[in-house]
Amino acid sequence: MIFDVQKIREILPHRYPLLLVDRITAITPNICIEGYKNVTINEDVFNGHFPIQPIYPGVYIIEGMAQTGGVLAFVSMFGEEAYNNGDKIVYFMSIDKAKFRNPVAPGDRLVYKLEVIKQKGGIWVLQGYAYVDDKLVAEAELKAMVVDNAKKKAQK
């Protein structure tokens, strides 16, 4: 199943400038997911990181991985046709074993691949990898949880 950015926006609460996944190209609920982000020179972050030699920040790579993993968790728990009306939110719990192998620059397509290591209830542990042109640029183990959005709940 392929999810375009509109479907991703139905699942994730993130918006510009921090929606960091453009498309989901493959998903097997409860198992794995693949998606990508097209990195362009128009990203606001390149105004300061770094103006003379733009490098996409490692924290953005990890966040993009996490957002892709959030789509996997949401779809696994609520189905491919599910729509997040703001009732649910995915929170980071930990980032472990993060390694950055190569820089990412404008013009690169950053491919995220994540596999489920463990899942219990709303808690997810994922192994994430980021690639550019099939070359590993970053990896990390991510732990997150899907919870009720307390602010949305309070509004009801």
Identify whether 49 is a catalytic site residue: yes
Bridge partner residues of 116 (DSSP): 126
Query: Which single residue is written with the structure tokens 């510009």?
Result: 16
Distances (CA, A) of 20 to 17, 81, 97, 126, 152: 8, 21, 21, 18, 23
Backbone φ and ψ of 4, nearest 5°? -80, 180
Q: Report the C-alpha gap between 114 and 62 in whole angstroms.
A: 11
Amino acid present at 148: D
Q: Report the C-alpha gap between 44 and 18 in whole angstroms.
A: 10
**Both ends of the chain: CA-CA distance in Å?**
33
Q: Point out the catalytic residue in the list 9, 23, 49, 152.
A: 49
* Residues with a known catalytic role: 49
